[in-house]
């Protein structure tokens, strides 16, 4: 049978508490799971996508927006992204559910190509876009 005095148990509990505190400090200080440089830090997923689309289409900074708003290992399933150059567009609807945002929009004609009606589905993680899928469609006028 093992016996322990109260003072020994108090010292043991203080030691375990200190080890736990040091572990939490180390994890938060040296191994953060977040990216403070992401443009979407502190924003809702819908606002991140709105800001990305504003920079891409309204300001004509598609390549810069893609570089800053998309994660380095992001999946971009857009066959021929017309949005890397200035393109006029019309957003019809933005739908957000959790970390997924769907944008129903029309990109106006560019370089002799017809207008493109599309539904873009974005997935957001840690303030950046980690996936974009584009589904081409045709809208009723």
Q: 109-130: per-residue pLDDT in tens?
A: 877 778 889 999 999 998 999 9
**For the chain, how many structural domains are there in total?**
2
pLDDT for position 31 = 64
* Whether residue 57 sits in one domain with residue 17: no
Residues in a beta bridge with 70: 129
Domain around 29 = 1-33
Mean pLDDT of 76-80: 78
**Are the C-beta atoms of 48 and 127 separated by less than 8 Å?**
yes
**Would you tell me the crossing angle of helices 62-69 and 45-53 to the nearest 10 degrees?**
160
CATH code at 113?
3.10.450.50
Share of the chain above pLDDT 90, in %: 44
Q: What is the pLDDT of residue 13?
A: 94
Residues 6+ apart with CB under 8 A from 66: 56, 76, 81, 84
List the one residue out of 47, 61, 130 whose CA is nearest residue 94. Answer: 47
State the Cα–Cα distance between residues 141 and 97, nearest whole angstrom.
27
């Amino acid at each position: 049978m093992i016996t322990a005095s109260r003072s020994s148990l108090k010292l043991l509990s203080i030691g375990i508490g200190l080890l736990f505190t040091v572990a939490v400090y180390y994890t938060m200080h040296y191994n953060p799971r977040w990216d403070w440089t992401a443009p979407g830090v502190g924003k809702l997923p819908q606002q991140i996508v709105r800001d990305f689309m504003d920079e891409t289409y309204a300001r004509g900074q598609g390549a810069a927006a893609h570089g800053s708003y998309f994660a380095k290992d992001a999946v971009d399933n857009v066959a021929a992204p017309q949005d890397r150059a200035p393109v006029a567009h019309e957003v019809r609807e933005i739908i957000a559910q959790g970390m997924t945002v769907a944008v129903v929009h029309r990109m106006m004609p560019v370089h002799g190509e017809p207008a493109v009606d599309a539904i873009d589905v974005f997935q957001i993680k840690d303030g950046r876009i980690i996936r974009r899928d584009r589904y081409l469609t045709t809208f009723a006028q």
